[in-house]
Amino acid sequence: MVKFDANFLAETELVYTDGGILAEFSWSLVVLPFVAALFITFIGKYLPYKGAEIALGTIALIFIYSVSLMFIHITEGVASEFFVNVGSIGQFDIEFGWVVDGLSIMMYFVVGTVALLVFIYATNYMEGEIRYTFFFTSLTLFAGSMLVLVSSPTLIQILIGWELVGVCSYLLIGHYWEKKDNSSAAMKAFITNKIADIGLMIGIIILALNTGTLRISEILYQSTHDYEKLSKVAFAAAILLFIGAMGKSAQFPLHVWLPDAMAGPTPVSALMHAATMVTAGVYLLARMFPFYKSMAPEALDIVMLFGVITLLGAGLIAIVQDDLKKVLAYSTVSQLGYMVAAIGSGAYTAALFHLWTHAFFKALLFLGAGSVIHAVHSNSMLEMGGLRKVMPKTFTTFIIGTVALAGLPPFAGFFSKDEILASFNHEGETTFFFIAVLGAFITAFYMTRAVSLTFLGEYRGHGHPHESHNMMTTPLLTLAVFAIASGWVNIPGVYTGFTDWVTTRKTKIVEYHPESFDLFALSSGLIAGLLGIGLGYYLYQLQGSAETGDDKIKIQPVWTVLENKYYLDHFYFRFIIDPIKINISKAVDKFNTNVIDRFINGVGQIASLLGGVVYNNLDQNGIDRFLNMSSSGTDSFGGRVKLLQTGRTQQYLMLFLGGVVTISLLILFII
């Protein structure tokens, strides 16, 4: 039941080089951070900047390298992969390696850029914080792990990068582990991802064993040429992989870890939400897209469904949040929903395009939020407000990020979101299209709410906030530029370079990307955005203020449901975690000590008990008992007494002769 569209295999007209020396050495991209991390850990403390300089240097190198890769890729197009065998098991070759093609180069670039800026920002933001050096170690590792993931030509390496990212997130989210909540949040993130990883793991196992290889390119090739091997398991594998993606890319219902992950320092959130962690899922889906497209189109529908659910659900929650970072977190979740849904709808480029733009403006927003929080020492928007005057740079950049996210032209978000809408429209997914539009509206609304609560109105906090240090504002400005311009690389009908960048691969993917603007989609998206902003501005500025704004839209019980995040966490803890952690495990332990052990000890005791019985009753004075029994009825009392007194020598004699008699009876009459 393989759906297969003929023009799928249309060989691309673009030409590639193998990228030459530059591509050959891109392994250094992956290795560098780890080496650096090592150095930071061990000699970092003794350096003037506590190791931050090493981290910065490394990430700068990576940035430069990715830029140069980007350059040659744009100019001549690169597609090549390299393998290193690290051992063979059975017929399998376990290979690491690195792939240099449009997709990964794009990711290199995103990671490089965002990471660089975040690092610069962090050097100042984390000034004087506890475990400063270690923070940079894990931050570097974080970036490195992401590079492992995106550079991987084999599924096994993807898995490795995947989990490494998870661990680094654990380290970073739990950075302030003195407080139990933080370490719990870290654990939550790790475990949730681990659960999702089961899906990924089994998916990989299925693919590997049915194709006989771990190389992605091989698998993709087979999935487009040799259907027999995969057709039976394709759907299962596709779904399982998607489960893995749900974990990292925080799709409903596995998104619960991401908001809690705000426990980490803000730069971490920025990096995590923009570049490194949450994009992994989308990246995986994109990487495996040809497989999905040709082998498991049904799976794509499911992917789309979840994407849409996520984008709406998370957006709604974002409305009710009072914690600035939480608002951004949920917006991330919902934006990821967009990307996943886009992939589901078959709009490969659109998804990646949104990933690309989102990376920049979301990083911008988080760093902005960070700068605010740094100033007011609080996450709660109720203790902010009126910061427009005191922190102009932050304000402007934040506004830029907001409109980019809300999707107003000519900002980045506009183009990417529009392309997604357009492809929905083109695919004829009308309901999903409107949900997406609604999502756009919601996005615009809660961002406006956030802005007005944070920057407009009067200051409600304590202390005297002030504009942040240049080390923090410079990255903001830089990102602002990206937030404005990064969308211009893929304007339908004008310039669609991005499409070519990310599609330059061995087998070209035939998927819809609009030649010109889809006016319907465009207008609806735009209107939704404007409405959202308008409503927000109306509620929180014109009519009343931050305090009163919420009341007008507090529709019980919807509001409560949203505030409790649809009770998902309650459900998980009440019905899954606590039972396992408390009841079941206790039961197992009890079973161990009270059933198995008791049994074992029991056997031992029975043995020695038996010994006692034999010793006292049979071996030593058994005859007594015997005689007493026999004599009790017949003999006279005296006789019995006498018998009771029988000492042992005679018993022995009796036993002896008794033995003889029994044996003779046995031999003579039985055998």
Asked if residue 208 binds another protein (CB under 8 A), the reply is yes
Instruction: Note whether 43 binds another protein by CB under 8 A.
Output: no
557: cis peptide before it, omega within 30°? yes
Out of 14, 60, 61, 167, name the contact with another protein by CB under 8 A: 167
Residue with Cβ nearer another protein (99 or 359): 99
CB-CB contact of 81 with 213 (8 Å)? no
Kindly state whether residue 657 participates in binding another protein, applying the rule CB under 8 A: yes
86 binds another protein (CB under 8 A): yes
Closest to another protein by CB, 85 vs 548, is: 85
Binding mask 92-121 for another protein (x = CB under 8 A): x-x---------------------------
Instruction: Write down the least CB distance from residue 172 to another protein, Å.
Output: 14
Q: For the chain, how big is the Rg over CA atoms in Å?
A: 35
Q: Is 656 in the site for another protein (CB under 8 A)?
A: yes
Contact residue for another protein among 7, 75, 91, 636 (CB under 8 A): 91
- Pick the piece of the chain touching another protein (CB under 8 A) from 46-54, 366-374, 421-429, 580-588: 580-588
- 2, 43, 580, 641: which one contacts another protein (CB under 8 A)? 580
152 is a contact residue toward another protein (CB under 8 A)? no
- Asked if residue 653 binds another protein (CB under 8 A), the reply is yes
Nearer to another protein, 92 or 538 (CB): 92
Which segment (402-410, 434-442, 534-542, 656-664) binds another protein by CB under 8 A? 656-664
Contact 1, 295 (CB under 8 A): no
Question: CA 487 to CA 26: how far, in whole Å?
Answer: 27
Tell me, by CB under 8 A, how many residues bind another protein: 89
Q: Which H, E and C letters describe 48-116, residue by residue?
A: CCCCHHHHHHHHHHHHHHHHHHHHHHHHHCECEEEEEEEEEECCEEEEEEEEECHHHHHHHHHHHHHHH
Instruction: Report the distance separating Cα 458 and Cα 390, nearest Å.
Output: 11
As a whole number of angstroms, the longest Cα–Cα distance in the chain is 127
The secondary structure of the chain in percent helix, strand, coil, rounded to multiples of 5, reads 75, 5, 20
Interface positions, 227-266, toward another protein (CB under 8 A): none
Q: Under the criterion CB under 8 A, does residue 190 sit at the interface with another protein?
A: yes
When binding is defined by CB under 8 A, the residue of 22, 47, 202, 553 that contacts another protein is: 202
Q: Which is nearer to another protein, 188 or 565 (CB)?
A: 188
Tell me the closest approach of the beta carbon of residue 272 to another protein, in angstroms: 18
The values of phi and psi at residue 493, to 5°, are 80, -20
30 Cβ contact partners less than 8 Å away, ≥ 6 residues apart: 98, 144, 147, 148, 151
List, in order, residues 6 or more apart from 252 with CB less than 8 Å away: 246, 306, 309, 310, 313, 314, 337
- Dig out the tokens for 449 from the structure: 């709410």
First-residue to last-residue Cα distance in the chain: 75
φ and ψ at 510, to 5 degrees? -90, 110
Judged by CB under 8 A, does residue 575 bind another protein? no
CB of residue 661 vs another protein: minimum separation in angstroms? 9
Amino acid identity at 580: I
655 binds another protein (CB under 8 A): yes
Question: For the packed helices 324-344 and 412-427, what is the interaxial angle rounded to 10 degrees?
Answer: 40
Residue closer to another protein by CB (options 548, 583) is: 583
Stretch that binds another protein, among 163-171, 216-224, 265-273, 402-410 (CB under 8 A): 163-171
Q: Is 170 in the site for another protein (CB under 8 A)?
A: yes
For 619, the token pair is 């071996």
| Site stretch for another protein (CB under 8 A), options 72-80, 191-199, 461-469, 560-568 | 191-199
Q: Please pick, from the candidates 51, 174, 370, 465, the single residue that binds another protein as defined by CB under 8 A.
A: 174
From residue 162, how far is each of 11, 148, 197 by CA, in Å?
Answer: 31, 8, 8
Examine residue 309 and tell whether it contacts another protein (CB under 8 A). Answer: no
Which of the residues 496 through 525 are near another protein (CB under 8 A)? none
The position carrying tokens 């308008």 is 534
CA distance 122 to 115: 10
By C-beta, is 60 or 643 nearer to another protein? 643
Shortest approach of another protein to residue 336 CB, angstroms? 23
> Among 12, 28, 183, 631, which residue interacts with another protein (rule: CB under 8 A)?
183
| Identity of residue 21 | I
The smaller minimum CB distance to another protein, of residues 177 and 537, is found at 177
CA distance 220 to 411: 35
Name residues contacting another protein, limited to 584-623 (CB under 8 A).
584-586, 588-589, 592-594, 596-598, 600-602, 604-605, 607-608, 610-612, 614-616, 618-621
CA distance 233 to 61: 42
Question: Which residue lies nearer to another protein by CB, 390 or 654?
Answer: 654
Closest by CA to 97, choosing from 165, 61, 150, is 150
